Amino acid sequence: MAEQSMTEDSVRAMAALVGLKLTDKRVAELLPQLQKSAALAKENRSLDLTGVEPDFKFDPERL
Amino acid sequence: MSTSDLCYLSISEAADLLQSGKLSPVDLINAHLDRIEATDGRLNSFITLLAEESLEAARNAERSINSGDYLGPLHGIPVGLKDLYYTKGVRTTIGSKILRDFVPDTDAAVTESFKNAGAIIIGKLQMHEFALGPTSINPHDGPAHNPWNVERVTGGSSGGSGSSVAAGQVMGALGSDTGGSVRIPAALCGIVGLKPTFGRVSRYGVYPLSWSLDTVGPMTRTVRDNALVLNTIAGHDSRDPWSVDTPVEDYTLGIENGVEGLRIGIPNEYFFDLIDAEVSRTFDQASHVLEGLGARVERVFIPILERSLAISGSIMMPEAAAVHIDHLRNRADDMGKDVRDRLETGALTPATDYIVAQQARRLFNRDLADVMTNFDLLLTPTVALGAPRIDQPSVTIEGSTLPTVAVLARLTRPFNICGFPTVTVPSGFTKDGMPIGLQIAGRVFDEATVLRAAYAYEQATDWHTRRPPL
């Protein structure tokens, strides 16, 4: 399925799931920032991450 | 010696005088309290000043030293703590309104270390709210002001630490560094700031910002002082789950060994894409200084650096939101707008985006580790420009206008991703008199080589000897 763009309605739905109370004004203010954040995530997904495990327990000694 | 001269002694100079009995800890603390009284109305470095407590500690230090019980080079030395370090019985606000009245019932590991070394904590220092921003413009306490020009930002988030050390209000301070929060204010205030290797210094009792990126770091006026403070705070602590049990050196021992034969890489990518021309020129001069001292300085290709902001941002914001999720649900109106924006963005970031960023981090770290098989150090500018004005929400660099916050933290973030020890050392001034920093990163747990190179550069130049006009 194609990736859908974020909308004010989707921001409201996510905020409700997380338990944040956002006014319509806040939703409008946050939307562009969330779109920027989504663009960063897209940049990360463009790397070939096949077989790469996440670095949750970051351990510099492994480097 | 005048009050100002006393306040601008280095820690190592003051330690010699204190140990030999030529300087009283009480006189030293009084000089610093006088300096704070004379300057903090303009700087706003302190959230909580511990005047009576520090005088009492100075009297105790004097008795101990006079009776032959000298604890070492921090004994009797006035220091400050960013206001996110737990201090037993002393409020710890994290620069916030929400935690304005929080009084910890325990000390942070580094607070304990300072106390055990006889250092005198003179106060709790100004910071960006919840350490989540690079300016230290704080809506609850007012902005921290840069001692070199009080209309300019200190940088952040450890802005009070930067300004207080630079202005001679304390001899050393601790900041915390998640995306540059030690190095940015150190560079913009003209002092030395070290982000140790992730896991080198305990974060026990440090209010978190982002668990997988947070580090604790010393801020001082000289490199040797920085090594002295690192000696005091480094080491394994089982109370911090990510503290690493690895040997700790005396970081002052090899500090004078120079850079002859060290291989220093200058990354081709990322660091020079968006940089003020004055900073760029200063950087070139600094690299020539190191070359002149015998280092082998070469360009190095590290394409993954271009992903720094994507990886760092996609990790830091969701982790910070997890730290503050209850505050977001119940006290969001009590946060500054910039911090609330970042935390709410983090809270609404899908878990998959966070996990993918941690996958990308592993690739990033592999590539950086590969580079460090051929190099001892990496050399870059610390911040892309001198300190902007406090009322300046955007900056223009070489024709591009960008948000100030985006520019300030751009060059420091890569080394939080890979955890490398990284120091900033004063390397010049802009034409309008604002300090510029040189950033030196090394292999994991090799703080010794990082400090050694910083010391060699410092001793070959005189930037660290200049004082702000305050």
E-strand spans in B374-447? 377-381, 394-397, 400-403, 422-429, 435-442
Average pLDDT, chain B: 97
B306-318, pLDDT tens digit by residue? 999 999 999 999 9
Catalytically active residues of B, by annotation: 82, 157, 181
Q: How confident is the model at residue A57 (pLDDT cuts 50, 70, 90)?
A: low
Please report, as a single letter, which amino acid is at residue B127.
M
* Average pLDDT of span B84-101: 98
Q: How confident is the model at residue A5 (pLDDT cuts 50, 70, 90)?
A: confident
B186-221, pLDDT tens digit by residue? 999 999 999 999 999 999 999 999 999 999 999 999
For a pLDDT cut of 70, what percent of chain B falls above it?
100
pLDDT value of residue A63: 53
B419-429, pLDDT tens digit by residue? 999 999 999 99
Interface of A with B in 2-61 (CB under 8 A): 11, 14-15, 18-22, 26, 29-30, 33-34, 37-38, 40-41, 43-45, 47, 49, 52-61
Q: How confident is the model at residue B336 (pLDDT cuts 50, 70, 90)?
A: very high
CA distance B95 to B132: 10
**CA quadruple B339, B197, B409, A46: dihedral positive or negative?**
negative
Whether pLDDT at A58 is above 60: no
**Which residues does chain A have within 8 Å of residue B368's beta carbon, measured at their own beta carbons?**
63
Give me the half-sphere count of Cα atoms (radius 13 Å) on the Cβ side of residue B371. 28
pLDDT value of residue B2: 84
Q: How confident is the model at residue B347 (pLDDT cuts 50, 70, 90)?
A: very high
Interface of B with A in 302-331 (CB under 8 A): 307, 309-311, 313-314, 317, 325, 328-329
Average pLDDT, chain A: 88
Q: Please indicate whether, in this complex, the C-beta atoms of B360 and A49 are within 8 angstroms of each other.
A: yes
B285-310, pLDDT tens digit by residue? 999 999 999 999 999 999 999 999 99
* Average pLDDT of span B263-287: 97
**Which residues does chain B have within 8 Å of residue A49's beta carbon, measured at their own beta carbons?**
356, 359-360, 363
Q: How confident is the model at residue B398 (pLDDT cuts 50, 70, 90)?
A: confident
* Average pLDDT of span B377-396: 97
Q: What is the CATH number of domain B3-465?
A: 3.90.1300.10
Is B356's Cβ below 8 Å from some Cβ in A? yes
Q: Please indicate whether, in this complex, the C-beta atoms of B341 and A33 are within 8 angstroms of each other.
A: yes
Coil, helix or strand for B146?
strand
pLDDT value of residue A1: 54
How many beta-carbon pairs below 8 A join chains A and B?
117
Q: What is the CATH number of domain A1-45?
A: 1.10.20
Interface of B with A in 359-398 (CB under 8 A): 359-363, 365, 368-369, 372
| ipTM for the complex shown | 0.91
Token pair for residue B439? 């950033």
**CA neighbor of B441 nearest in space, from B433, B450, B432:** B450
Chain A: nearest CA to B312, how far in angstroms? 10
Q: Please indicate whether, in this complex, the C-beta atoms of A55 and B317 are within 8 angstroms of each other.
A: no
B453-468, pLDDT tens digit by residue? 999 999 999 999 999 9
pLDDT value of residue B88: 98
* Average pLDDT of span B384-392: 97
Please give the radius of gyration of chain A, using alpha carbons only, rounded to the nearest integer. 16
Domain residue ranges of chain B, discontinuous segments joined by +: 3-465
* Average pLDDT of span B60-65: 98
Lowest mean pLDDT among A38-47, B1-10, B168-177, B401-410: B1-10
pLDDT value of residue A2: 58
In terms of DSSP bridges, do strands B215-220 and B192-195 run parallel, antiparallel, or are they unpaired?
A: antiparallel
pLDDT value of residue B89: 98
Whether pLDDT at A4 is above 80: no
Q: Please indicate whether, in this complex, the C-beta atoms of A37 and B362 are within 8 angstroms of each other.
A: no
* Average pLDDT of span B128-152: 97
Q: Which helix (H) or strand (E) holds B95?
A: none
Of all residues in chain B, the one with the smallest CA distance to A50 is: B359
